[in-house]
Chains A and B, each alone.
Chain A
Amino acid sequence: MAWLVVRLAISMSLLYAASAVFEDQVGKFDWRQQFIGKVRFALFDTHSQASKKLLVATEQNVFASLNSRTGDLFWRHVDKTGPEGHIDALLMYGQDAVVVVGNGRLLRSWETTVGGLKWETVLDTGSFQAAALVGVQDLVKYAAVLKKSAISLHDLSSGSEIWVENLPDSDSVQYQTIYSGGNGLVFVLGVVPNSHIVIVEYKIEDGEIMNKKSVEAAWMSSLESSCAVVSSGILLCVDQITQSLYTLPLQSAEQTEMRQIHLQTLDLEVVSGFRPVLTSTQPNPAQPPLSEFFLQLSPDHHILLQFKDGLIAPLRDFNPSYLAAFATSGERTVAAVMSPKNDTACSINLFSADTGRRHLDTTIIYHMDPNGGKPNRLYVHAFLKKDDSVGYRVMVQTEDLTLTFLQQPGRVVWMREEALADVVTMEMVDLPFTGTQAELEGEFGKKAAIQDGLLPMVLKRLSSQFILLQAWLAHLWKLFYDARKPRSSVKNEVTIDILSRDEFNLQKMMLMVTASGKLFGIDSKSGTILWKQYLENIQPNSVFKLIVQRTTAHFPHPPQCTLLIKNKDTGLGSLYVFNPIFGKKSQISVPALPRPVLQTLLLPVIDQDYAKVLLLIDDQYKVTAFPSTKNVLQQLQDTASSIFFYLVDSSQGKLSGFRLRKDLSTELIWEVVIPTEVQKIVAVKGKRANEHVHSQGRVMGDRSVLYKYLNPNLLAVITESTDAHPERSFVGIILIDGVTGRIVHEAVQRKARGPVHFVHSENWVVYVYWNSKFRRNEFSVLELFEGAELYNTTVFSSLDRPHPPQVLQQSYIFPAPINTLEATLTEKGITSRHLLVGLPSGNILSLPKLFLDPRRPEVVSEQSREENLIPYAPEMPIREEWFINYNQTVSRIRGIYTAPSGLESTCLVVAYGLDIYQSRVFPSKQFDVLKDDYDYILISSVLFGLFFATMISKRLAEVKLLNRAWR
């Protein structure tokens, strides 16, 4: 019977917590965007004319096929992160794409139509150098892979290894490139820096070394960037010091030395300090490359040259030109060159490769985004038109990782913002009111109200009411107008102008900061990018902190966000202040930060323009206030003695607390030192500032109240042991009061190690660690209670809480690894909390906090049942219906952001990683929203019916009474 009760209790609680998306809700309030990252290789499928495939391999170890008409993904394969999944080379022939992965670890062949793996071969160890397709008698049959000390040849249809040969003298010679011109030989080129070049010839059939020679080249340091093979096996190199080109026929036996051609004889000169680049093209791997090639002499100067009969002749000089690329369609090879047109636009033109003549009517105008970066890669897709002329489309990649696909005469076919594949941090900001709402606000908000008399105020009120009426009528008219149109033709285009707050504040502006230094403003409802801003000169190792200083609530002051960009190495920071709704840079003068910034602190103190004050603490513990108006400084002086902050120095294991002085200097008031020999601090987290706790305590089974220890200054410090031995390793959790430095609780999770993910909220901390003894992930929850009585019922002061809280803790097994952890957040904190767990599978699990409750009893009692406590079970359940993103998995999920909406039941969730997913969660179901299928007609007709029935029966009763009285 007890067992039945237990099961009943569990199922009841599950019933309570269960929430899943119904089929008709899919995509209604959630969206997902998939990204690929910075493109490393891009190849157009030129196999057939109608093909729309564009194959890309990226820095994020993603191999994907894009639809070149729409920019959508056909398919995508996400490999392991880090060097293990790094894509070294991408080769394409016919329907197949050959990819070398993981520094030459694997060779894979993909079927490009559906993205299926055809075969995979594990290669011998050795660092990858180069790969090439090898053709014999006009047929491409093999792929050759060059490693540091070996070369191997693989069959393209099965992946089987034909032969593998060690390279001669591989300790001294750096073999770097591979070349085959379809004549039955494979050339491997190596270099001994500043000495000579080594050329080894292999026979394709059996890998026999046919010939080996070394050629003097004292000026050469690397083959890869400065050399190319042109024409029928001519090695061509360029050197900027001697200002010369060097040629060498690979196969000739008599020429034992490179022939030097001074650039001067061609009237050319390499700009000093620039490494010239040679670009040649080999349209068919079974045939030798073309004799035409590009030579880049400076960042904006390319020249098309031709090698003919041992001589080099310029075909066309492109000065200025940013980018140049070859493309082949059928038998015809063309060159596309991008040249600057004016300050905001570039023109791309097509030239025939063999003559250098310009094709008529082939100009594409590329408008550069004023808020974007410069173009840095050009990919050309050439095709033959019906009249046998060559048409083309181009894909331009810019510094800010935007992919733009253009066609003539400059129409942007699609655009992808690949910077969003690496979101670092984000915030959500409320949208502003509409103009009319703002008008109404403005009426009361300004000081003008005091100056005006009674009559103008009345008039003002009337006029604003009239404006509201007008807006409402216009809205009705629009509704009526839209209703008549078929549903599909009503476009839901979102523009920045019509953007306004909705009734329940469910639509917000998502601010996303990406690692490349590009900021985005995205509409949370549709995922439309409303503005973007590329910040130039961002170091690749920068860390960002986004701070909302003024929200939209202070009309007519625009909202204001501040981004702190900090160089990780030097610690030097800079501030970028902008309007989060429009993305415009603010004109406010920003304080210079000459010293490394250690800590930032957003105070609830506001200046006269309603901007919260941001304090920046530098390495000399001096404080800079932003904004630093007189008003702010005055307020800071008044409240200085109650402004405390903490600093963490994980290298010394030191946590220290400071207090602000009136002159904006600081004084050290407490210090806690955790010896780094034993454990190191890995993370410190406070509570979120915008968090509300509705309930001060928990009602127990016996109707008494257990009060929560709600210390807003509490910090959770997570440490990991330096000893990695599974028996001795541990994870430490220390709860410290950030004002007094008092250690409130200190616990050690033995036989555990990181990575630790944790959430600190209300009166609880939840953390996840790896149990190294049982080899599993475990959840642990700590809850702090003051006890049955509150020490001070009105306010909480860290300086006046002498009694330590009661700490309860319980642990559970979690049957999956996790990537990230976050808790839901709602407007008033009435709704029960859920934990959002990002799993490596890309699912987001919404786990009720009910399951993570240290008061879950071992043995069920009357009181625990009264309290709705689930009996303790060591294993945490994972139920598929708790996945809030059903099949919309988020690859490589790195972070989850939660924000409250205007509805208490609803919490907005954004998960980001390689993809971005936005949704809403309802931890306690939609208790404040009427259901979609709510029967308004029935309810209102019943109401009206009852109303009339009472009226009629009342009348009848009166008549009857009257009649009876007469009787």
Chain B
Amino acid sequence: MNGNGFVCQSGEAVDTDFSGFSVPLEHSFEVDDVPRFSLRGVLQFRGGREHGVYLAQNQLSEKDRNTLKDVAAVDGLYRIRVPRVSLQADRQTERQAEGYLTTFVRACSLVESHLSDVITLHTDVSGCVVGVSIVTIPGSCRGIEVEDEVDLEVFNTTISVVAPVTAPVPETAPYIERMEQEMEKKGKNPQEQKSFFAKYWYLILGGAVFLMATSSAQTPPGGAREQS
């Protein structure tokens, strides 16, 4: 139920209260796979920082439950659609966008997930809904039998509105800051407190290796003889 906090005042059709508006959420599941949409619930957009959208939805009737199970049996689709609306207040009058945004999920996965789905409404920068998506959790179809009475009555829906994220720009300021800090650090102790060995360890090591190499070359190879 986490919205991105849209200040929405009105939208397409049914104004319910002063600070929000609502649009219908419709669904369709038919054995012959020809979409016939019917009302599933009402999406209520509210102003305020959080909880930008609520979904009030009906229970599935006995008939619907059976149809849904039949559709799932033939691997049909469960479709939903929402009207194209703008969540921006001032655009409401000028944009009565016609048409719907549709999406689907496999009916069997909806059944097997016991009607628990996640619906996401995506908006563009101007607050207009551009796309809707639905997934069920879990999303797989394993062919598990479902007790219809309890599990297929009530939708367990998580709904959210997602606005586009602002893509990052090249971060020059922190980089320069970091560089400056390093420069400062260097500036504070120009001669780092290093010991003699820390500074010239490689020279010493090199010299030692060189000495060893020259001394070992002088000694005659005698150790190997004992073993043979």
Interchain CA distance A673-B130 in the complex, whole Å:
5
Stretch from A113-121, A607-615, A744-752 that touches the partner: A744-752
**Inside 8 A of B100's CB, which chain A residues have their CB?**
671
Q: Are A672 and B131 in contact, CB atoms less than 8 angstroms apart?
A: yes
CB pair B101 A669 closer than 8 Å: no
Q: Beyond A673-B99, A858-B174, is A749–B167 a contact (Cβ under 8 Å)? A: yes
In the complex, chain B residues whose CB is within 8 Å of the CB of A873: 175
Q: Is B114 an interface residue (CB 8 A)?
A: no
Asked if A809 is at the interface of the complex by the 8 Å CB criterion, the answer is: yes
Residues of B within 8 A of A673 (CB): 84, 97, 99, 101, 130-131
Contacts A641-B75, A873-B175 given: A672-B101 contact, CB under 8 Å? yes
Residues of A within 8 A of B79 (CB): 669
Q: Are A799 and B167 in contact (CB under 8 A)?
A: no
- CA A295 to CA B178, docked complex, whole Å: 79
**Is A20 engaged at the interface, CB distance under 8 Å to the other chain?**
no
Question: What are 20 A-B residue pairs whose CB atoms fall within 8 Å in the complex?
Answer: A668-B102, A669-B104, A673-B101, A673-B130, A732-B124, A740-B105, A741-B133, A742-B131, A742-B135, A745-B165, A746-B122, A746-B124, A748-B125, A748-B164, A750-B166, A800-B140, A802-B136, A811-B170, A872-B175, A874-B175
B172 contacts the other chain (CB 8 A): yes
Q: How far is the CA of A799 from the CA of B136 in the complex (A)?
A: 10
- Could you tell me if A771 and B169 are in contact, using CB atoms closer than 8 angstroms? yes
Q: Are B170 and A743 in touch, CB under 8 angstroms?
A: no
The answer to whether B133 and A742 touch across the interface, beta carbons within 8 angstroms, is yes
Q: B148 at interface (Cβ–Cβ under 8 A)?
A: no
User: Is B126 an interface position by the 8 A CB rule?
Assistant: yes
Interface contact B172-A874, CB-CB below 8 Å: yes
A767: nearest residue on chain B (CB-CB)? B167
Contacts between the two chains (Cβ within 8 Å), count: 138
B120 CB contacts on chain A under 8 angstroms = 742-743
In Å, the complex CA distance between A743 and B119 comes to: 11
Give the residues in chain B near A812, CB-CB below 8 Å. 170
Tell me if A741 and B125 are in contact (CB < 8 A). no
**Please, which residue of chain A has its CB at the minimum distance from the CB of B122?**
A743
The interface residues of chain A lying within 8 Å CB-to-CB of B17 are none
Contact of A809 among B99, B101, B122, B167 (CB under 8 A): B167
Partner of B124 from A679, A741, A742, A749 at Cβ < 8 Å: A679
User: What is the distance, in angstroms, from A810's C-beta to the closest C-beta of chain B?
Assistant: 6
Cα distance, A801 to B136, chains bound together (Å): 9
With both beta carbons as reference points, the residue of chain B lying nearest to A749 in the complex is identified as: B167
Whether A321 sits at the interface, judged by CB under 8 Å, is: no
Q: Is A3 an interface residue (CB 8 A)?
A: yes
B contact residues, total (Cβ < 8 Å): 50
Contacts of A333 in B (CB 8 A): none
Main secondary structure of the interface of B (DSSP, over half): mixed
For chain A residues 665-711, which have a beta carbon within 8 Å of chain B? Answer: 667-675, 677-679
Q: Give the residues from 175 to 224 in chain B that come closer than 8 angstroms, CB to CB, to chain A.
A: 175, 178, 182, 186, 192
Cβ–Cβ < 8 Å partners of B163 in chain A: 746
The answer to whether B152 has its CB under 8 Å from any CB of chain A is no
Beta-carbon contact of B125 and A800 below 8 Å: no
B69 at the interface (CB under 8 A from A): no
A675 contacts B124, C-beta separation under 8 Å: yes
Q: Are B178 and A858 in contact (CB under 8 A)?
A: yes
Complex: A508 Cα to B89 Cα, angstroms: 59
Residues from chain A with a CB closer than 8 A to the CB of B186 are 3
Q: Which residues of A contact B84 (CB under 8 A)?
A: 673
Contacting pair B131 A743 (CB below 8 A): yes
> Is A572 part of the contact surface with B, judged by Cβ < 8 Å?
no
Q: Contacts of A874 on B, CB cut-off 8 Å? A: 170-172, 175
Whether A799 and B139, one on each chain, are in contact in the complex, defined by CB atoms closer than 8 angstroms, is yes
Q: Is the CB of B139 within 8 A of A741?
A: no
A2 on the interface (CB 8 Å rule)? yes
Docked CA distance A743–B186 (Å): 49
Which A-chain residue is minimally distant from B127 (CB atoms)? A678
User: Is B8 positioned at the interface, with any CB of A under 8 Å from its CB?
Assistant: no
Main secondary structure of the interface of A (DSSP, over half): strand
Q: What is the CB-to-nearest-CB distance from A814 to chain B, in angstroms, rounded to a whole number? A: 9
B77 within 8 A of A: yes
State the CA gap A880–B57 with chains docked (Å).
63
Question: Do A811 and B140 form a contact, CB below 8 Å, given A2-B182, A670-B104?
Answer: no
The complex places the Cα of A439 from the Cα of B221 at a distance, in Å, of 63
Instruction: Tell me the minimal C-beta distance from A272 to chain B in angstroms.
Output: 54
Taking CB atoms, residues of chain A closer than 8 Å to B102 are 668-671, 741
Chain B residues 95-131 with CB under 8 Å of chain A are: 95, 97, 99-106, 109, 118, 120, 122, 124-126, 128, 130-131
B167 lies within 8 A of A811 (CB) = yes
Partner of B103 from the list A732, A733, A740, A745 (CB cut-off 8 Å) is A740
Residues of A within 8 A of B138 (CB): 800, 802
Q: Are A800 and B169 CB-contacts (below 8 A) given A641-B75, A669-B79, A732-B125?
A: no
Nearest Cβ distance between residue B118 and chain A, in whole angstroms?
Answer: 7
- Asked if residues A671 and B182 are in contact (CB atoms below 8 Å), the reply is no
User: In the docked arrangement, what's the CA distance between A962 and B220, Å?
Assistant: 29
Residue of B nearest to A960 (CB): B228
Specify the chain A residue showing the minimal Cβ separation from B104.
Answer: A669
Q: Does B33 contact A (CB under 8 A)?
A: yes
Residue-wise, chain A 732-776 has the 8 Å CB interface mask toward B (1 for contact) of: 111010001111011111100000000000000000000100000
CB distance from A198 to the nearest CB of B (A): 56
Assess A747 versus B137: contact at CB under 8 Å? Given A678-B124, A874-B175.
no
A175: CB under 8 A from chain B? no
Q: Which residues of A contact B105 (CB under 8 A)?
A: 740, 799
One of A674, A736, A748 near B167 (C-beta < 8 A): A748
A667 touches B124 (CB 8 A): no
Residue of B99, B133, B140, B178 with highest tally of chain A CB at under 10 A: B133
Given the known inter-chain contacts A746-B164, A750-B166, please indicate yes or no for A678 contacting B103, CB distance below 8 A: no
Instruction: Tell me the A264-302 residues at the B interface (CB within 8 Å).
Output: none
**A543 interface residue (CB < 8 Å to B):** no
A449 to B169 CA separation, bound complex (whole angstroms): 64
- The answer to whether A128 has its CB under 8 Å from any CB of chain B is no
Judge whether A778 is part of the interface by a CB distance below 8 angstroms: yes
Expressed in whole angstroms, the Cα–Cα distance for A875 and B138 within the complex equals 43
Given contacts A2-B182, A670-B104, A874-B172, contact A747 B167 (CB under 8 A): yes
Q: Is B72 at the interface (CB under 8 A from chain A)?
A: no
Contact A675 B171, beta carbon cutoff 8 Å: no
Is B159's CB within 8 Å of the partner chain A?
no
A875: chain B residues within 8 A (beta carbon): 170
Taking CB atoms and an 8 Å cut-off, the chain B residues in 15-47 that contact chain A are 33
Find A742's partner among B103, B125, B137, B167 (CB 8 Å cutoff).
B103
B140–A675 contact, CB under 8 A? no
